[in-house]
Amino acid sequence: MFIEIDEKKLLKLYVNCYGEGDPTVVFESGLGCPHDDWKIVQNRISEHTRTFSYDRAGLGNSDKGDSPRTSLAQVHELHTALNKAKVKAPYIIVAHSIGGYNARLFAGTYPEEVSGIIFLDCSHENQFEDMAKRFSVNELETIKSQLIDAEQTFDELLISAKQIKEIRKKDALRNIPIIVLTADHKGEESAALPQETWLNYQNDLATLSNYSKHIIVEDCGHYIQKDKPQVVIDVIKELINEIK
């Protein structure tokens, strides 16, 4: 269904709500990815509790949002969509890739509404700045061109990273249970970041909470929810049971 989140701008987001119960599991996709990325996982988790997936502005069936398209702007839109769809907290946010920015900002902005977070090979606040330092101007331009899509430009990603650094000062995740799933990226090659650097980023995400677990998912690419959906289903069910 469509949720109108801004009458003045006529902005509508496409959302999918299934299942009953609490906590509600909210799926947050990676950069440029629609809600369909979660189809297998959402269908299974909906058998146990309420679930919510959606297309961010500019993706899938949703309207295109106005610039700047930063993570904080997306978080406010998500919060409005949840309220208008009458999807009540508490939320477990399951985030993939750049969606991890939104999960952290959501928890920092609305701390009373988040009861757990699962990070799936999620982005780190230092990675884009590190990339800018690591490569020559020409190499960086090539990487930027690969990252630009309907959602965010490279410069907007840098702004989003700064928003994460600011929200991290609140230490909002310290007492929230989190699970970090990291792909071993077997069979994948990244010109942007070495696997060792990526693993260091992932280890750092696990330090955000005193109640964290870090799992390396073997024989898996970046899209864990597609390559190893059962792993994701299992950790969501584990976190649901822990919170209850």
Check: CB of residue 182 under 8 Å from CB of residue 123: no
pLDDT digits (tens, 9 = 90+) for 106-149: 999 999 999 999 999 999 999 888 877 777 677 667 766 666 56
Backbone angles phi, psi at 205, to 5 degrees: -60, -35
241 phi and psi angles, rounded to 5 deg: -65, -35
The per-residue b/e assignment along 12-40, b for 16 or more CB within 10 angstroms, e otherwise, is bbbbbbebeebbbbbbbbbbbbbbebbbe
| AA letter at 69 | R
* Confidence at residue 143, expressed as pLDDT on a 0 to 100 scale: 66
* pLDDT tens for each residue of 71-86: 999 999 999 999 999 9
Q: Which residues share a beta bridge with 212?
A: 178
Per-residue pLDDT, 132: 72
Burial 113-129 (b: 16+ CB within 10 A, else e): bbbbbbbbbbbbbbbbe
Mean pLDDT, to the nearest integer, of 54-69? 83
pLDDT (0 to 100) of residue 47: 96
**Rounded mean pLDDT of 61-76?**
85
Question: Residue 37 above 90 pLDDT?
Answer: yes
The span from the CA of 182 to the CA of 87, in Å, is 29
Alpha helices in 59-186 (DSSP H): 71-84, 99-109, 127-134, 137-147, 154-168
Please tell me the CATH code under which domain 2-243 is placed: 3.40.50.1820
State the Cα–Cα distance between residues 187 and 189, nearest whole angstrom: 7
Domain boundaries, the chain: 2-243
pTM of the model: 0.92
Which one has a higher pLDDT value, 211 or 3?
Answer: 211
Q: Which pLDDT score, from 0 to 100, does residue 150 have?
A: 59
pLDDT range class, residue 157, cuts 50, 70, 90: confident
C-alpha 145: how far from chain center:
22
164: its two tokens: 């994460």
- Identify the H or E element spanning 112: none
Of 15-19, 129-133, 171-175, 198-202, the range with the lowest mean pLDDT is 129-133
Checking if the pLDDT of 7 tops 60, the result is no
Is pLDDT above 70 for 6? Answer: no
pLDDT bracket for residue 203 (50, 70, 90): very high
Residue 209 has pLDDT above 90, yes or no: yes
> What is the Cα–Cα distance from 178 to 22, expressed in whole angstroms?
17
